[in-house]
Structure 1
Amino acid sequence: MTDKNARHSKRSYGDGSIDQRGEDVYRLRYRVDGRRFTKTFKGKLTDARKELRRLLREGDTGDHVEPSKLTVGQWIDTWIAAGAPGRRKKKVGQKTLERYEELLRVHVKPKLGAIRLQKLQATEVDRLYTHLDELVDESGDRQIAPMTLHHVHVVLNSCLSTAERKGLILANPMRRVEQVPNPQEQILDDEEADADDIGEGLDDVELARLIAGFERSSLYPVVVLAAATGARRNELLALRWINLDIDKKTLRIERAWEQTKKFGLRLKPPKTKRGLRTIELDDATLTMLLKEKERHQRIIAGIPDGPHVDLSLIKLPAGALMFPAVPEPGEDFDFTKPRNPRNFSKEFARRADHLREQARKAELPSFAKTRFHDLRGIHSTALLDAGIPVHTVAQRIGDDPAVLLRNYAKRKRSKKANQSVAAAIAAIASGFLGK
């Protein structure tokens, strides 16, 4: 037999055959449920035989995955186009979808996009993570935050898990990844942080000083309500006056703003069923809201502040927001026009920083750097420090009790909590020491 004939000889192995195509290159042919399949294998003949037996065995057990030239990049595009379904086979929200697409397009596709999906190995993902973790800018600072890298891992894992469920790959290589990014305790974005960050916390005096600094600002009623309820920014800015029950002293949270590239600013239901809730209000907060409503009624009626008049007959427009956008000079007040959430957070941050700087220059006690989202954590912390049960606090802020408790344990404990612990320990010790 000539060398040429030897290179192209076929050897039968039950329902399959091996055709040598070159040095350590073999074409595997086999049948599964009557269908023909072909796979190119690079390696020794003994290993090619093992691979063929594996393919035939998978055909017998129903685990066979049809060979495909689909690349990682192509599958990412398909998964995003399908709405990035997860374990529950449901599409994610538009803003979340855009964030997933950005993470995979910027960080994954450049390195892994051209690799065939079925050939992707855990070692290649490990190398990607190492590469991303080592990226630095001109000043030597890392370009990608640990939390962002962790988000890349979570999204890529979800993407490949869907490919496994659909039978496109035999097993998700992410299960063998060893360089799993550590999110540490960094947060990317004010609203993106959500329940993943409970904030450093302010004591009662510091919080009062912060809120007082906003008293002459249009942000004041939103800041007060955030501190008094622990509600999310996008929930607060979506509140309408019909959500307030004056007689029951409650506030109904039933929707939130979502800021997306595709649709812009639009309303959506709360992120989870826990988000749909009714919050009890204290008298002081209710009074503040009624004053804000009266201010809106005076604007509608054209009545200046000061004179006492009966405003009960003054009706606000249908769908009037509690905290609408502040009109530009020359514009009429539109009670249904929403504030821009991101601009709102930036304005809060600027004013909070200004208040801190003022206190520093005057050599007065200041407070920690505070984002608007931190008011949610401050509210939760105050309730937990006061001994309110975790499940009650979680229900009030629309959160998972386990997540709330985990983040409360991670953050620096407040002085009040430390004092409570010290008092409890002292009481226990006095009991068994007889003092």
Structure 2
Amino acid sequence: MKDQPRSRRPFGEGGIDQRGANVFRLRWRANGKRFTKVFHGTMAAARKEIRALITAVDTGGHVDPSKITLSQWIDQWIAAGAPGRKKMKVGQRTLERYEELLRVHVKPKLGSKLLQKLQAAEIDQLYSNLETKLAPMTVNHVHRCFNSSLSTAERKGMIASNPMTRIEQLPSAGESDHGLALDEADLKILVTGFKPSATMYAPLAVDASTGVRRNELLAFRWTDFNDEAKTLKVERALEVTKKFGLRYKPPKTWRGKRTIALDDGTVALLVAEREKHQRIIAGIPDGAQVDLSLVKLPNDSLIFPAMPGAGQDFDFAKARDPSGFSKAFRRAADALGFVGFELHHLRGTHATLLLDKGVPVHTVAERIGDDPAVLLRNYAKRKRRQTADTSVATVINDLSAGIFGS
């Protein structure tokens, strides 16, 4: 009698071939392709694994096996602009920072691992090692960009799930420095201390009176200034990149593009500064009485351009080096007795003084181009230069006097 042929298992059930003691080859199909996988374990465990693979196919969660390493995936992610959960590329400066963090701190330890084989325990060990030699904030930055890259891999179907969701503990950012805020008297001493400097006083006075970011300040053009309306528009910011050098970019968020109301003193300062530039471009000596309204500055003329070097002509469109500007400020501020006060603390000081005077949070946030929640959080943690909160002490003393009749 002729042997009956073995019945084939239904197409969607896959197959299991034993290749040795507790070694099996799993076979299944997904998206019209055939896949195999070597599985080590018992027959019962192999059946459980094949059922899981078939279920993933049915539910759309199947991930095609890949030999791509973590290092290769990171390179692909960076080349794509490091898109996050909003599927948007980051800025060039941020992209370069992400590339550096992952290249220096992640690739040497985990780069050779297969992306699909990366385990949460391996990430835990990486973070544990980094925490012994890096500041908490730096480790947190590593985690944020590493997690973003793996989240993108999951979204694209490169991995079944992000192993970051199973790590033991997220790296703490630590207590960041939210800056130092000056009171009005100290702010006046600091800013007026720069008056002898023809290149530093005007930009610092404008910075202190507007709360703009350094790279917004140095990107202001005369076309952004309206002396009649008493406004200054923030349309762009400087960006220092390795790939493109110094260039302009739009504000980081929609809040960044804004129009700032100016006080009379700042308007007068900017008008005087513009007249200096008009005299330079027209070759008119100081003191000569002429109608400067007839002198037009080029549309790309910066309000605070770089100073020309020896033997060079004045280029009104050439931007200052942001880092050099910050260093020059820091040296002069130290000499004036404001040791440790950074340029970006002027922004925090401006916001703090407005909030202390009762200006609504949303109004201050709109003025400086910040998120109201972030502004409040920073305001609460920002240090004052004085040693005691005398304003609160005064209120408490007055309250006590009313209660106890003293």
User: Same fold by TM (over 0.5)?
Assistant: yes
Aligned to 1:236: 217
Following TM superposition, the consecutive aligned residue runs of length 4 or more in structure 1 with deviations greater than 4 angstroms are: 11-14, 413-417, 422-435
> 2:329–2:343: 8 Å Cα contact kept in structure 1?
yes
State the aligned residue count. 397
Matching residue's letter, 1:303: I
Shift of 1:35: 2.9
Q: Deviations over 1:318-368 (max 9, x none)?
A: 311000100011111111111111111122122222322xxxxxxxxxx34
Aligned to 2:37: 39
> 2:14–2:50: 8 Å Cα contact kept in structure 1?
yes
Q: Deviations over 1:210-260 (max 9, x none)?
A: 212221221211111111101011111110111111111010101111111
Cα distance in 2 between the residues matched to 1:76 and 1:165 = 15
Q: TM-score, normalised on structure 1?
A: 0.85
Aligned to 2:27: 29
The alignment partner of 2:247 has SS state of: strand
Matching residue's letter, 1:100: Y
Q: Deviations over 1:19-72 (max 9, x none)?
A: 344554432212235432112223344333222221111112221111111111
Pick one of 62, 69, 79 that aligns with 1:81: 79
Q: Deviations over 1:289-328 (max 9, x none)?
A: 1111111112122233344443222222231100010001
Aligned to 2:272: 291
Aligned to 2:323: 342
Cα distance in 1 between the residues matched to 2:144 and 2:169 = 13
Pick one of 16, 19, 36 that aligns with 1:18: 16
> 2:178–2:383: 8 Å Cα contact kept in structure 1?
no
Aligned to 1:404: 375
Matching residue's letter, 2:375: L
Shift of 1:427: 6.4
Structure 1 residues 252 and 106: alpha-carbon distance in aligned structure 2, compared to 1, 3 A threshold:
same
The alignment partner of 1:274 has SS state of: coil
Identity %: 61
Shift of 1:208: 1.7
Pick one of 364, 384, 388 that aligns with 2:355: 384
Matching residue's letter, 2:58: D
Aligned to 2:186: 206
Structure 1 residues 354 and 22: alpha-carbon distance in aligned structure 2, compared to 1, 3 A threshold:
farther
Q: Which moved more, 1:283-292 or 1:208-217?
A: 208-217
Pick one of 297, 300, 318 that aligns with 2:281: 300
Aligned to 2:249: 268
Cα distance in 1 between the residues matched to 2:194 and 2:24 = 74
The alignment partner of 2:131 has SS state of: helix
Cα distance in 1 between the residues matched to 2:377 and 2:167 = 25
Matching residue's letter, 1:202: L
RMSD: 2.3
The alignment partner of 2:35 has SS state of: strand
Q: Unaligned 5+ residue runs, structure 2? A: 1-7
> 1:348–1:372: 8 Å Cα contact kept in structure 2?
yes
Structure 1 residues 368 and 15: alpha-carbon distance in aligned structure 2, compared to 1, 3 A threshold:
same
Pick one of 53, 62, 65 that aligns with 2:60: 62
Aligned to 1:331: 312
> 2:222–2:299: 8 Å Cα contact kept in structure 1?
no
Shift of 1:125: 0.7
